[in-house]
């Protein structure tokens, strides 16, 4: 972890260990392909053992209320950001444009504002991100993750709102 000063802005630069990230994915029964860019680590994750979609539910659907109340993570459907984390997610699609129900693209930001804090005012470092990632991957398979609004990121499980009617 390093500190970068850019004018009046100070950023924390996270330096991820690719083996540790891959280990987190494998511990949670995900296969992973990792791509490193200057500003982020991109993970394509999927599961070969799972026969049902990942537990990503539309929070606005009343039938999913039971799942929503148990969620530890919430995704902003308009941006794909996992709320209060430096993680964002994106849907994976097949060649026909259909959602792949057991796969996601996950982005770990390498640059965060110096004053960024996780819930509970916990400071951010690489070890904390590995723990967060482990918990997120477990939630995708066991507890559920709520998707709140927006057309960009689509839920994969439960009842979903249909496309808007014109």
pLDDT tens, 49-87? 888 889 888 877 766 666 666 778 999 999 999 999 999
CA angle (10 as vertex; 126, 34 as ends), nearest 5: 35
Tell me if 47 sits within 8 A of 138, measured CB to CB. Answer: no
% of the chain residues with pLDDT over 90:
52
What region does 29 belong to: left with phi over 0, alpha with psi -120 to 50, or beta? left
Between 25 and 51, residue with greater pLDDT = 25
Strand order in the sheet with 40-46: 31-36, 40-46, 99-109, 87-93
């Amino acid at each position: 972890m390093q500190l970068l000063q850019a004018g009046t802005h100070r950023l924390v630069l996270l330096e991820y260990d690719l083996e540790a990230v891959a280990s987190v994915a494998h511990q949670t029964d995900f296969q992973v392909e990792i791509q490193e860019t200057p500003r982020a680590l991109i993970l394509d994750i999927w599961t070969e053992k799972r026969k049902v979609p990942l537990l990503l539910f539309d929070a606005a659907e009343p039938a999913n209320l039971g799942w929503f109340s148990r969620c530890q993570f919430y995704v902003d459907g308009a941006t794909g950001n996992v709320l209060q984390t430096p993680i964002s997610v994106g849907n994976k699609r097949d060649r026909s444009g259909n959602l792949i129900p057991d796969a996601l693209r996950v982005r770990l930001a390498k640059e965060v504002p110096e004053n960024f804090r996780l819930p509970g005012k916990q400071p951010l470092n690489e070890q904390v991100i590995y723990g967060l990632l482990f918990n997120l991957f477990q939630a995708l398979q066991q507890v559920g993750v709520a998707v709140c609004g927006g057309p960009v990121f689509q839920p994969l499980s439960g009842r979903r709102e249909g496309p808007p009617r014109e």
